[in-house]
Homo-oligomer: A and B are copies of this chain.
Amino acid sequence: MLTKIIEPRFGDTDGLRHINNTVVPSWFEEARNPLYRIFMPDLTFEKWRLILAHVETDFLSEMRYGRDVEIRSWVERVGTTSFTVHQEAWQNGARRACGKTVVVHYDFEACKSIPIPDDLRARLSEHLLESPPDR
């Protein structure tokens, strides 16, 4: 399981005085950096080969400014041309949000999805969790 600590910013809140819903996908995006590095070790755009097909987030309870948030990420599925990342945001010992992202291995010149090579599939699979860790 990958973990990343996020320190909320003042502007991450909204008028309800909690973290705004649109911020959480950005936190999850930051926490996916290690998975992106499997495909592009230096994260340069010239050789970028991933594109998002689907993002979903469930908001379980409110998060607040002033306390760190831990993002937990793991791979839930590795398919032929795409994989699914499961992510959770924890604050004050409780799971506050969880989400899934479907990432497609993609050839931007040919405009089509392409199979994930075996060596990268093996490295992705190191982050596979069939069921979430004990809570």
Contacts and interface: CB of A to CB of B under 8 A. Distances in A.
A48 B15 contact: yes
A13 B55 CA distance: 17
Contacts of A93: none
A14 B52 CA distance: 13
A20 interface: yes
Interface residues of A, number: 38
B14 A22 contact: no
Interface in A3-27: 4, 7, 9-11, 13-17, 20-23, 25-26
A66 B54 contact: no
Contacts of A92: none
A21 B29 CA distance: 10
Interface of A: 4, 7, 9-11, 13-17, 20-23, 25-26, 29-30, 32-33, 36, 42-45, 48, 51-59, 65-66, 108
9 closest A-B pairs by beta carbon, nearest first, are A43-B66, A56-B56, A15-B45, A13-B15, A11-B20, A9-B30, A15-B17, A11-B22, A21-B52
